[in-house]
Amino acid sequence: MEDLLKKYNLKQSQYEYELQRAIKNNLDIKDWLRYKFLTKHSLLIDDTKRVLGRSLVVDFLNNFSQDTGFLLDKSLQKRVGSFLVKHRGYNIFSYWVDNVLVDKGLKYSWKEINPRAIKEFDILLDLEINIKNNELFWILFGFFVFFFRFLTHKEKQIKQMLKRFNRLNVSLLYRSQWIHYFESMSQCCVKNNYEVLEGRLNKLTKELIEINKKYSDLDYLTIYRGFQLRQGETNIRSELNRKKQKVGKGFFYTLNKDYGKIYTINSNIYGHFSFYLYNYDDDELISLYVDEQSHVGDLGKLKIDREEFAKNKKYRNKIYKTDIYKNYIKEQLIFSNKNIDKLQFNELDRCIIGTYRVRKKDILFFKEVYKKTFSTTFKEQSVFCFDEDVDLVRYDYLSQKDFSFVHKLFSKYDAEDEFKVDALGINVT
């Protein structure tokens, strides 16, 4: 008790009052105080010049924690959508900049947004014990799916949160449907088109029903994950269990192997170099990237023979030694902690595509995720699982051939599936 009095600067009488409120709300006193004071002090402040506004999680719970029927109540749908579009925090996290920020010339970069998203997620971890409505929980939880690749270190806390109140006992169909709702609602509300929302949810439901018909709970699905092997890392498999991996772990998997390749190439400096090289000729590189990314434009000055570069290692090594290529790499690594002077420019992080299997019962949820890859937004059918529930079948290093054909892989993936979307992530095909 004394620790709590000191932590929250409470008098004995205040503590006794809050204890009664905790009992009334069927919560432990620690959980109640954490909830109360986190709600009270929920401003996310950037610095003295910029304020993000109140926590999105706190405001969402304050406004909708007593509501039910999210997927059925049309008036509630419009309330939720209107709330999201007007909320400062949501607009920033969604890369939408409201008029206040525009007028002041303030725009948040990804490097600024990501730490704030993690802070918001920490708030959800603190407050989730108060969310007894499973539908509400999964809807709010769905907002953070995009940031999951940065939350691997919180796997233990996430697992504890998902297992509370039998949240994982809800069917995979409903979990996936609810988690898709938060993002879909806000997108459709911007255009005030709730027929699009209903169509998207119905389409997702049909796809999930087909998966449920095709696989029983104990059947295995084959899934894929692209990841990087960082410099200095060697063994990918765990020494204790060869079916588990030691590096490159995460929550994100995909049903499409080609996209797994594209995604890991997109995350790699050499992958971007290959994309520029095989998508543009020399004149296009020089003209397209003359200002913001001058070192990319300079690649055109090398007059690289694309075919020779793809098949001849000696020719590639010759390119790696040029000042233009080294300057390009330095520009890409400017925000990293690597010692650029000691870096071998032909030995950057390596791209890997892993093949896995997972039982359907161990899938957390399916999610249509919109990812910006090589400046194009793709809709990807992602699969989310805990690493411990997934078996690593094999992994393959991407070869020079994969890099040289990245433009064809990109076009193939784009052509075979309806993945072109507009700025709000709504299908335009």
pLDDT for position 211: 80
Where are the domains positioned within the chain?
A: 42-211, 218-267+349-416, 282-342
303 band by pLDDT with thresholds 50, 70 and 90? very high
pLDDT of residue 99: 42
Q: Would you say residue 102 has pLDDT above 50?
A: no
- pLDDT number for residue 209: 84
pLDDT confidence tier of residue 40, bands split at 50, 70 and 90: low
Residue 72 has what pLDDT?
79
Beta-carbon contacts of 364 under 8 Å, excluding residues fewer than 6 positions away, are 162, 168, 175, 251, 384, 385, 386
pLDDT score for 357 = 96
Query: 372-387 pLDDT, tens per residue?
Result: 677 666 777 789 999 8
pLDDT of 172 higher than 50:
yes
pLDDT of residue 117: 80
pLDDT at 309 over 90: yes
> 47 falls in which pLDDT band (50, 70, 90)?
very low
pLDDT confidence tier of residue 202, bands split at 50, 70 and 90: confident
User: What is the structure's pLDDT at 50?
Assistant: 46
Q: What is the pLDDT of residues 67-93, one digit of tens each?
A: 877 777 888 888 888 888 777 777 777
User: Residue 334: is its pLDDT beyond 70?
Assistant: no
Q: What local confidence, expressed as pLDDT, does residue 421 receive?
A: 38
Per-residue pLDDT, 418? 44
Share of the chain above pLDDT 90, in %: 14
What is the average pLDDT across 388-398?
93
User: Taking 90 as the threshold, does the pLDDT of residue 356 lie above it?
Assistant: yes
Q: What is the mean pLDDT of residues 235-259?
A: 86
Is the pLDDT at 51 greater than 50? The verdict is: no
What is the reported pLDDT for 381?
77
Q: How confident is the model at residue 17 (pLDDT cuts 50, 70, 90)?
A: confident
Q: Which tops the pLDDT comparison, 415 or 159?
A: 159
- pLDDT higher than threshold 60 for residue 423: no
**pLDDT tens digits for range 262-292:** 888 888 888 888 988 988 899 988 887 766 5
